[in-house]
């Protein structure tokens, strides 16, 4: 799908020493990614996890790959099986690992092989508050975050919650990569503005690839 307003291919914006946006990097993979999200979510449905505090999360989530991120009253953690099906999370669909490794390499992280992919679904109005990804054993390996569908404003902050955060516009096909010295930065997503994306309709899908072990 051609996106008139996307930045040209090959353009990169540095956010910090080891963090960048690879504009449009996922566009050649989009058909495979969307087919994959469809397959994964037909088996392991999108659901709203409950936080340890007892609130349903606004973002709907599912996972694929060896490990999946879950939350319930007992806390946040990675598990090998979907608690809804009792079966292992669906395997990485075709194209997922290839994209994650290629994006990591382009951002300066050679030979990166993630073992988890969280799939986030945002409806208009949905936000994700500032947080650090800290449920992984590996706090250095990069996070590869792929944006599909409606645009978003990504917040990329510092190492304390109150640090000033950059506001980074992300569109369909953009990939953000952060790792190394920047791996533990706070980040989040402002409420998604209403809109209709030609390929995805009224939603934003984000794929977050991580290395847990």
Residues lying near Fe ion in the complex (CB under 5 A) are found at: 133
The answer to whether 65 and 116 have CB atoms below 8 angstroms apart is yes
Rounded to a whole number of angstroms, the minimum distance from the CB of residue 188 to ligand SIN is: 7
Q: Which is nearer to ligand SIN, 69 or 109 (CB)?
A: 69
Whole-number minimum distance, CB 59 to ligand SIN, in Å? Answer: 7
Nearer to ligand SIN, 23 or 187 (CB): 187
Quote the least distance from Cβ 126 to ligand SIN, whole Å.
10
Applying CB under 6 A, the residues found at the interface with ligand SIN are 120, 128, 145, 154, 187, 189, 206, 208
Nearer to Fe ion, 82 or 133 (CB): 133
State the minimum distance, in angstroms, from the CB of residue 19 to ligand SIN: 13
Q: Closest separation between CB of residue 213 and Fe ion, Å?
A: 18
Specify the residue, 87 or 152, whose C-beta has the smaller distance to ligand SIN: 152
Q: State the binding partner of 206 from ligand SIN, Fe ion, none, CB within 5 to 8 A by kind.
A: ligand SIN
Nearest residue by C-beta to ligand SIN? 206
Structure tokens at 153: 């404003």
């Amino acid at each position: 799908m051609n996106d008139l307003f996307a930045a040209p291919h090959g353009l990169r914006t540095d956010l910090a020493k080891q963090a960048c946006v690879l504009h449009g990097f996922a566009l050649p993979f989009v058909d495979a990614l969307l087919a994959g999200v469809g397959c994964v979510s037909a088996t392991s449905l999108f659901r709203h996890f409950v936080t340890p505090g007892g609130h349903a999360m606004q973002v709907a989530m599912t996972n694929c790959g060896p490990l999946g991120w879950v939350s319930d009253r007992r806390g946040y953690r990675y598990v090998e099986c979907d608690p809804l099906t009792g079966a292992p999370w669906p395997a990485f669909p075709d194209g997922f690992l290839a994209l994650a490794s290629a994006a990591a390499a382009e951002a300066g992280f050679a030979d990166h092989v993630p073992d988890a992919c969280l799939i986030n679904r945002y409806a208009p109005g949905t936000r994700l508050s500032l947080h650090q990804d800290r449920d992984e054993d590996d706090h250095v390996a990069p996070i590869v975050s792929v944006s599909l569908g409606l645009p978003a404003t990504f917040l990329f902050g510092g190492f304390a919650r109150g640090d000033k955060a950059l506001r980074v516009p992300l569109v369909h096909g953009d990939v953000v990569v952060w790792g190394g010295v920047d791996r533990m930065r706070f980040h989040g997503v402002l409420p998604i503005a209403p809109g209709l994306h030609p390929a995805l309709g009224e939603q934003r899908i984000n794929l977050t690839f991580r290395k847990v072990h």
